[in-house]
């Protein structure tokens, strides 16, 4: 039997008078990859500051809403002017939709986002005493707030374990072989199964930071980044990922 180098290592152990045969593959399985990802990302990004500037749960909620199809950097340039006028639901309802829209225009989708901000502020005043609810169910009932936005707010404002998955995390986790999910919902479920709950909030940010620095959408092909090379040394072809 010929054994190609880098294919596998054949290890034979004598256990209780019997031969046990173990094939140790070069590529890691999902759990091994997950463990390596946790260790390596902690080395690379021990600190995980929240990317969106905010002062309270309300301003975080608004910033996350504005970040849809927009960069965090641009949102952080826009929100100071908005939050100077209104950093609470009570103050936001005093502005008109056109006033909000004029400020948030650089973030894109301004008409829709401005109306959502105005409407959700009224709901917070009428149904939650002006406070952002610490509940997935209540958050996801608010205009413009989906599961990902709710997850970010729950994790970063209230410290509740959550694993927000956007298109970038969805892409990276596919390249790392952690999911075969066709959408962000399945990727979130897979990641929650693989990673300990106490790591979710920080790990979500670490993956984002890694993607921005080492594995951008343009570069991401499953061959170039350090984690892909370490976990899948035998991978020869580009790995296509399923868009969310």
pLDDT tens for each residue of 135-153: 999 999 999 999 999 999 9
Q: Give the Cα separation of 240 and 243 in Å (integer).
A: 9
CATH architecture of 30-44+163-231: Orthogonal Bundle (1.10)
Structure tokens at 56: 């309270």
Give the Å distances, CA to CA, from 125 to 121, 158, 177, 219.
6, 19, 44, 45
The per-residue pLDDT for 103 is 99
- Catalytic annotation present for 166: yes
Q: Name the active-site residue from 91, 105, 166, 236.
A: 166
Domain edges within the chain: 30-44+163-231, 57-158
CATH class of the domain defined by 57-158: mainly alpha
Q: Name the active-site residue from 77, 148, 185, 192.
A: 148
Question: Are the CB atoms for 113 and 119 separated by under 8 Å?
Answer: no
Read off the pTM: 0.86
- Catalytic annotation present for 77: no
pLDDT tens for each residue of 46-95: 999 999 999 999 999 999 999 999 999 999 999 999 999 999 999 999 99
Q: Give the Cα separation of 117 and 60 in Å (integer).
A: 12
- Considering only the C-alpha atoms of the chain, give the largest distance between any 2 of them, rounded to a whole number of Å: 81
Q: Which of 72-76, 170-174, 220-224 has the highest mean pLDDT?
A: 72-76
Lowest mean pLDDT among 22-26, 101-105, 125-129, 157-161: 22-26
């Amino acid at each position: 039997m010929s054994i190609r180098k880098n294919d596998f290592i054949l290890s034979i152990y004598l256990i209780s008078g019997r031969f046990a045969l173990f094939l140790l593959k070069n590529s890691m399985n999902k759990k091994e990859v997950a463990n390596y990802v946790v260790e390596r990302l902690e080395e690379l990004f021990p600190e995980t500051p929240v990317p969106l500037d905010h002062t309270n749960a309300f301003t975080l909620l608004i910033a996350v809403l504005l970040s849809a199809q927009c960069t965090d950097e641009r949102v952080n340039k826009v929100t100071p002017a908005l939050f100077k006028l209104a950093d609470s639901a009570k103050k936001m309802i005093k502005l008109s939709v056109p006033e909000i829209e004029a400020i948030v225009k650089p973030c894109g989708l301004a008409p829709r986002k401005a109306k959502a901000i105005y409407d959700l502020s009224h709901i917070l005043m009428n149904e939650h005493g002006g406070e952002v609810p610490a509940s997935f169910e209540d958050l996801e009932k608010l205009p413009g707030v989906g599961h990902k936005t709710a997850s970010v707010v729950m994790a970063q404002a209230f410290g509740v374990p959550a694993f927000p998955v956007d298109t970038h995390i969805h892409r990276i986790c596919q390249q790392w072989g952690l999911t075969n999910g066709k959408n962000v919902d399945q990727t979130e479920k897979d990641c929650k199964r693989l990673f300990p709950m106490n790591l979710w909030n920080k790990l979500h940010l670490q993956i984002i930071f890694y993607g921005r620095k080492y594995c951008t959408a343009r570069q991401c092909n499953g061959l170039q980044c350090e984690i892909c090379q370490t976990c899948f040394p035998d991978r020869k072809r580009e790995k296509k990922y399923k868009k969310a």
